[in-house]
Amino acid sequence: MKRLDRIAINILTPLNMASREYGDDFVELITSEFPFLSPDKYGNLEPLRNTYVEGQKDRMLDCWGNTFIWSRSRPFVEGDVHFRRGPRPTHSWIVIRLDKKVNIIDVVRFLQKIAVRFGADFASVHYMAQEEVAEILGDLANGVSNPRLLFDNPRNGLHRNIVTSHHLQRFLPNLYWATIFGPPYVDLFGKELLLTAPAFQVTELAEKCVYMQLSPNPLDFASDYASQNRSRQHIKDYLDHDAFLDYSYPLDHRYSVPTFRI
**pLDDT tens-place string over residues 221-251:** 999 999 999 999 999 999 989 999 887 888 8
List the domain range (segments joined by +) for residue 103.
6-16+84-239
Is 22 contained in some domain? Answer: no
202 found inside a domain: yes
Give the confidence band of 118 by pLDDT, cuts at 50, 70, 90.
very high
Does a structural domain hold residue 21?
no
**Per-residue pLDDT tens digits for 190-204:** 999 999 999 999 999
Helices (H), the chain: 20-28, 57-61, 104-117, 130-141, 165-168, 183-189, 191-195, 220-223, 225-239
Examine residue 170 and state whether it is found in any structural domain, yes or no.
yes
Does residue 250 sit within a domain? no
In a domain, 23, yes or no: no
Amino acid, single-letter form, for residue 112: Q
Domain contains 77: no
| pLDDT tens readout for residues 153-167 | 555 555 678 899 999
For 2-28, how does the pLDDT look when each residue is reduced to its tens digit (9 = 90+)?
456 799 999 999 999 999 999 999 999
Count structural domains, the chain.
1
Residue 48 and residue 70: Cα distance in Å, rounded? Answer: 8
User: pLDDT value at position 135?
Assistant: 78
pTM of the model: 0.93
